[in-house]
């Protein structure tokens, strides 16, 4: 592939043909602020935070959608660029609640970080927002219309990655918002409640409803683990406060899921703290279940299997795998059935 040679902040770089200025700047280690950019999505150029200066061009250009050209000279943090970005932040804050101290995204909000970085304490254009939290029967996703900055990341990830197209832009001007068709509930739309929109939101507009008010970003410990709901092995982070899972997130760049999760992986881990959850093996004695040790449970299972095989033969036993197991675990299940029990009665719940 042909290489494009250009200069950014006085440093030369060669990039592949078709690469954007944002990619080129990042490859040199220059930090270019973005709000609408997500590496999982196609470049969009909506927020204008990534404006940079190009020698010979009177206009500042968005780095995320501008392709690199041979001989191009760019500045990512000139005085003109800095001033323009401050103006963009002011415009974004013109209809944004000033409730950072009580917002659930405080400490992990990109807009808050940029306002601090560029020294924007207030907006000259401020008009008190009045749309509020959108009422929805969904128990897992909360949308605060006032905090939305119209970056489009939620709409785009729903369309481009999830391929669901459950939400889109509606309205105009200060009345513009994000909603399902006909302003229906998410439960009445094509939404599968995967929470991809929540993962893509750079501010506090879209959050996990069950986690609202439960913790601040700096109060939680992120424990990396693997989702147990199927055999894909998605990488997840349990956000834990005081020994309790507050919510589940995933990071862009992790394999195999690249930050993407389904409804179970993102919202189904509260079962860990359910009062009915079994935490010890149970063995039925005299018609009632009694707690037992793992050794007792294994011995009990082995004794029962041996008796069944002795009385009725190995084909009276069947082994059923699960899509929640890994390929290796399912292999062991069929190996146990054939080599230990002596039967070919093996099935798997995902075979259809």
Mean pLDDT of 280-301: 94
pLDDT, residue 233, reads: 87
> CB 176: neighbour CB atoms within 10 A?
14
Torsion of CA 38, 197, 133, 107, to 10 degrees: -50
pLDDT computed for residue 1 by the predictor: 67
Indicate whether this model's pTM tops 0.75. Answer: yes
- Which among 264, 232, 258, 186 has a CA at the least distance from the CA of 248? 264
8-state DSSP, 231: T
Residue 252 has pLDDT above 70, yes or no: yes
Give the CB-side neighbour count of residue 94, counting CA atoms within 13 A.
12
Identify the pLDDT of residue 322: 86
Residue with tokens 């204008």: 48
**Model confidence pLDDT, tens digit, residues 199-217:** 999 999 999 999 999 999 9
Spatial neighbors of 143 by CB under 8 A, at least 6 apart, are 133, 134, 136, 178, 205, 206
What residues pair up with 141 in beta bridges, in sequence order? 208
Residue 319 CB partners (closer than 8 Å, separation 6+)? 333, 334, 336, 337, 341, 343, 345, 346, 347
Residue 331, SS3 per DSSP: helix
- Percent of the chain beyond pLDDT 90? 82
Burial annotation 311-322 (CB, 10 A radius, 16+ → b, else e): eeebeebebebe
User: Given a cut of 80, is residue 351 above it in pLDDT?
Assistant: no
| Res 235: pLDDT | 96
pLDDT of residue 124: 87
Residue 161 has pLDDT above 60, yes or no: yes
Cβ count near 83 (within 10 Å)? 12
- For residue 74, the 8-state DSSP code is E
**Helices 79-92 and 110-117, interaxial angle, to 10°?**
140
Mean pLDDT of 149-172: 95
Write down the pLDDT at residue 270: 86
Domains, the chain, in order of start with CATH, read 3-77 (3.10.20.740), 215-275 (2.20.25.90), 282-348 (no CATH)
Asked if 4 and 17 touch (Cβ cutoff 8 Å), the reply is: yes
122 band by pLDDT with thresholds 50, 70 and 90: confident
pLDDT at position 132: 87
- Sequence-ordered strand ranges (E) for the chain: 3-8, 11-16, 51-54, 61-62, 73-75, 141-143, 168-170, 177-179, 206-208, 221-226, 235-241, 244-249, 282-285, 288-291, 319-321, 346-348
- The mean pLDDT of 70-98, rounded to a whole number, is 94
Confidence of residue 341 (pLDDT cuts 50, 70, 90): very high
For residues 154 and 33, give the distance between their C-alpha atoms in angstroms, rounded to a whole number. 19
- Over residues 150-176, the mean pLDDT reads 93
Location of structure tokens 């990109």: 110
Hey, which residues does 240 pair with through a beta bridge? 221, 245
pLDDT at residue 130, as a whole number: 79
Rounded to whole angstroms, how far apart are CA atoms 9 and 153? 29
């Amino acid at each position: 592939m042909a290489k494009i040679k250009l200069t950014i902040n006085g440093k030369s770089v060669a990039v592949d043909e078709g690469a954007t200025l944002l990619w080129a700047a990042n490859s040199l280690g220059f930090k270019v602020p973005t709000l609408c950019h997500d590496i999982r999505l196609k470049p969009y150029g909506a927020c204008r935070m990534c404006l940079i200066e190009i020698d010979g061009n009177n206009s500042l250009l968005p780095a995320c959608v501008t392709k690199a050209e041979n001989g191009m000279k760019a500045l990512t943090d000139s005085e003109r660029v800095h001033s323009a970005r401050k103006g963009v932040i002011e415009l974004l804050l013109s209809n944004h609640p000033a409730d950072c101290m009580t917002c659930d995204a405080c400490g992990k909000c990109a807009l808050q970080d940029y306002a601090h970085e560029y020294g924007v304490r207030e907006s000259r254009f401020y008009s008190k927002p009045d749309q509020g939290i959108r009422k929805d029967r969904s128990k897992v996703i909360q949308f605060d219309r006032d905090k939305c900055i119209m970056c489009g990341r939620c709409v785009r990830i729903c369309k481009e990655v999830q391929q669901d197209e459950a939400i889109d832009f509606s309205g105009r001007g200060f009345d513009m918002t994000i909603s399902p068709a006909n302003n229906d509930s998410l439960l009445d739309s094509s939404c599968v409640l995967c929470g991809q929109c929540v993962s893509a939101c750079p501010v506090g507009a879209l959050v996990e409803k069950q986690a609202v008010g439960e913790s601040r970003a700096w109060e939680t410990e992120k424990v990396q683990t693997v989702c147990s709901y199927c055999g894909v092995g998605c990488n997840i982070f349990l956000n834990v406060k005081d020994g309790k899972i507050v919510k589940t997130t995933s990071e862009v760049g992790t394999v195999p899921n690249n930050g993407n999760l389904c409804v179970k992986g993102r919202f189904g881990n509260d079962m860990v703290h359910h009062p009915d959850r079994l935490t010890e093996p149970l063995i039925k004695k005299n018609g009632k279940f009694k707690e037992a040790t793992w050794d007792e449970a294994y011995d009990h299972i082995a004794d029962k299997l041996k008796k069944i095989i002795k009385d009725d033969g190995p084909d009276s036993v069947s082994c059923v795998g699960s899509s929640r197991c890994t390929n290796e675990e399912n292999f062991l299940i069929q190996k146990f059935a054939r080599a230990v029990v002596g039967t070919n009665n093996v099935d798997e719940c995902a075979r259809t």
